[in-house]
Structure 1
């Protein structure tokens, strides 16, 4: 697989973009005319730089509004084309993208369009240049790739073929099965982009909301299958117009882009059983093994865990690291990282094959991280997620476990066994800034093998919070991603512990001195109006600051601790087959975390 990317996908100047693409590992580049025009470097200097960086110039684009025009416009278009061909010759580019006419076309006659495009191809041949004709989704008369192929056939030039663009095809709902009807020798170029489904005019949708593969709603695996099975053998190239990616760090975005191509090609190979092209099989996690919290002084976190009913699991034999446990819910406190406050810095997942999970992540492009170990320490392969959180995989057995690295575990006595908290980590709630959100979705899909549920918006005191839940099919692992408005403070993260009896857990925690996040009285009045709860049960919820939700599958009882640094804790109980997260209560929680009454 050869990989390429359009320079329009990235921020910065052309030279910066070229360096970032080479550093990420791309094989080639599509140079946008606008990027070259704005560059101080000559075409010859850009050509030499690409050669030094090991990048091929796969496409020069775009050339617009050419065909199906009157004679005067056609003559001027040929003049424009000759000037661009001369620039391409200096640049060392031998393929131009010709977009279907959206502005100056005056006739729907495909024979006239073919005659004019044929003349363009003849002129291009004088410079050793190929023309890849693309049907834009908003083209005036040509908006379907099958019509573009029709015109290419009518023109019948050896150096004229088609460019297939997933956005232009899938946004219009065109069936990609027709790609099989195209002569494989005429499949000159392929451009890939994902996108969310939106009720928006196609031009605005295209210019602002394209995404890298795996981040949107298009079935790119099926699309790419059709293209490759039809005989395409050129590079897989990304053309993603997106307001966010044009502002984010160019090096990081280029690496993110290449990961999306690796993921797409691997999933396409798996769907078609191209076994020689696949990465290691995805390793969906079967449980959250642990969470790791770091900080200079974690005594407040320890006090909260103790009040919740966690028990001390021991000190690491060689490091300033401590373990707290609540049944199968494990929290590692790491004071080796000397930063103020407390922050969620690591996540551990149990998988069938930790080594295979790590190999797959590295092949996709996730950066590897290393845990400092000593003789006898358990090996936990890990990578860094987009925000720097370290993700570990563990396929431990009863005979061998990283838990053996901790010494001094406090055993449960008869007086504490019944009152200690016993549970599992139900879900994690993490926050991302706007510029990292889509990258995180792709990471969780491609590296962690999680599936994305439909996103929702939660009203908060500083605007709408976008919430995207990533999870395994069985719900054993759930990761809720939150995106706050750009002007709002960064949202804290939280860990939710699932128990069998949240009410009893709340009473015991309060008896140990834990103050829960206080809920307003209006919230309980609303609960009564919505659900008609038994008075005694409603009074109990109100007394303990518990939150409640119910649907046709069951009910949900939960409570929150105050925030410490960048993290807080939630205890949840799922009754019946309730599968949600108490979304109706989220605005109340967000408001409560902002502060109490102002009067």
Structure 2
């Protein structure tokens, strides 16, 4: 769960709030490691100073153990796959992978989340993308680690669950599976932040609903439950006015902009078919980790403290499962 919005919301306090609300685990993000490093040493470490990050990771592990929280995975590992052979970008991607694997060892997690790349200039070949994921999976397997590959709905070549599943199947590694996400699928296939309706347009509403139901039925039918490593859960606000249908100044595509700031808890102002997607995932037979992954720019105005937010997150999850 993503929590905290003030400088005073330090990692130890975040962990206490999450544990007190009844959660069993956290997803550890690189920004949290950097912020904790800043707290410990008075300056934020270089994201590629892996010796320092490993030491910070060991301190994070102790904090998590104090609160009896498992570190489910390290994330988000981005823009890894598809770079041209021999390019400096490809060299950097594999150097980052080696560094992140060291951090995984330090924090005591066995899973790395990889988001489907949104970089321009990468290969569109499923063979190339799968080969890179297979190579990364082999690097992780040497340490007993797994990769949870997630479709990011603004990705360059793999924005849907079906795309990442094809890549995972092609890579064919026992330690390579999926991180599914209610926002990434509902916000990619059914909703659109650039339209006035908030929905994918160019087809009738009836056709949109039919295609969405067909996608969910296919997911339930085709993905083995053991290949789903976790399901991330969040909703999304309908954008009014809509986001402009172009990249922003940082080069982030509209759905990426939407993802960063407009993802509330279920039942807290969003409009995505979150329950539909959860039901489809459960119908595969999956009974694994459910994770609240919320990026809510309105959160600081809505939640006065981290414990209250954590408790609301737990209650929204229980309501979702109950329905």
TM-score by length of 2: 0.77
Q: Which residue of 1 aligns with 2:290?
A: 236
**1:104: how far off?**
4.6
Measured in 1, the distance between the counterparts of 2:312 and 2:16 equals: 15
**Residue 101 (structure 2) pairs with residue 81 (structure 1):** no
Q: Which residue of 1 aligns with 2:11?
A: 14
Q: Which residue of 2 aligns with 1:167?
A: 183
**1:195: how far off?**
1.5
Measured in 1, the distance between the counterparts of 2:150 and 2:143 equals: 21
CA contact (8 A) 2:229 2:289 kept: no
**1:187: how far off?**
0.7
Measured in 2, the distance between the counterparts of 1:56 and 1:137 equals: 28
Q: Which residue of 2 aligns with 1:211?
A: 264
**1:52: how far off?**
2.0
CA contact (8 A) 2:3 2:306 kept: no
Measured in 2, the distance between the counterparts of 1:70 and 1:260 equals: 44
**Residue 173 (structure 2) pairs with residue 157 (structure 1):** yes
Residue deviations 1:328-379, cap 9 Å, x none? xxxxxxxxxxxxxxxxxxxxxxxxxxxxxxxxxxxxxxxxxxxxxxxxxxxx
**Residue 306 (structure 2) pairs with residue 250 (structure 1):** yes
Instruction: Flag the 1:155–1:105 CA change in 2: closer, same or farther, 3 A.
Output: farther
Give the counterpart of 2:319 among 254, 260, 263: 263
Residue deviations 1:439-459, cap 9 Å, x none? xxxxxxxxxxxxxxxxxxxxx
Gaps of 5+ in 1: 268-599
Q: Which residue of 2 aligns with 1:144?
A: 160
Give SS of 1:176's match: helix
**Residue 20 (structure 2) pairs with residue 36 (structure 1):** no
Measured in 1, the distance between the counterparts of 2:285 and 2:277 equals: 13
Q: Which residue of 2 aligns with 1:502?
A: none
Measured in 1, the distance between the counterparts of 2:300 and 2:176 equals: 31
Instruction: Flag the 1:246–1:178 CA change in 2: closer, same or farther, 3 A.
Output: farther
Give SS of 1:39's match: helix
**1:105: how far off?**
4.4
Measured in 2, the distance between the counterparts of 1:235 and 1:222 equals: 18
Q: Which residue of 2 aligns with 1:187?
A: 228
Aligned length: 261
**Residue 127 (structure 2) pairs with residue 111 (structure 1):** yes
Measured in 1, the distance between the counterparts of 2:129 and 2:93 equals: 13
Give the counterpart of 2:138 among 114, 122, 135: 122
Give SS of 2:66's match: helix
More helix by share: 2
Q: Which residue of 1 aligns with 2:71?
A: 57
Residue deviations 1:21-58, cap 9 Å, x none? 01111111111111111103521222122122121111
Measured in 1, the distance between the counterparts of 2:96 and 2:35 equals: 18
**1:177: how far off?**
2.5
Gaps of 5+ in 2: 41-55, 191-211, 244-253
Measured in 1, the distance between the counterparts of 2:113 and 2:311 equals: 25
Aligned-pair RMSD on alpha carbons? 1.5
Instruction: Flag the 1:213–1:134 CA change in 2: closer, same or farther, 3 A.
Output: same
TM-score by length of 1: 0.42
Measured in 2, the distance between the counterparts of 1:106 and 1:223 equals: 29
Measured in 1, the distance between the counterparts of 2:121 and 2:15 equals: 35
CA contact (8 A) 2:183 2:274 kept: no
Measured in 1, the distance between the counterparts of 2:299 and 2:288 equals: 25
Give the counterpart of 1:48 among 37, 62, 82: 62
Larger relative contact order (C-alpha < 8 A, sep ≥ 6)? 2
Instruction: Flag the 1:209–1:140 CA change in 2: closer, same or farther, 3 A.
Output: same
CA contact (8 A) 1:65 1:105 kept: no
Spell out structure 1 runs of 4+ moving beyond 4 A. none
Give SS of 1:188's match: strand
More strand by share: 1
Q: In terms of Rg, which structure is larger?
A: 1
Measured in 2, the distance between the counterparts of 1:104 and 1:129 equals: 29
Instruction: Flag the 1:246–1:32 CA change in 2: closer, same or farther, 3 A.
Output: farther
Measured in 2, the distance between the counterparts of 1:242 and 1:133 equals: 23
Give SS of 1:237's match: strand
Give SS of 1:101's match: coil
CA contact (8 A) 1:29 1:55 kept: yes
CA contact (8 A) 1:9 1:239 kept: no
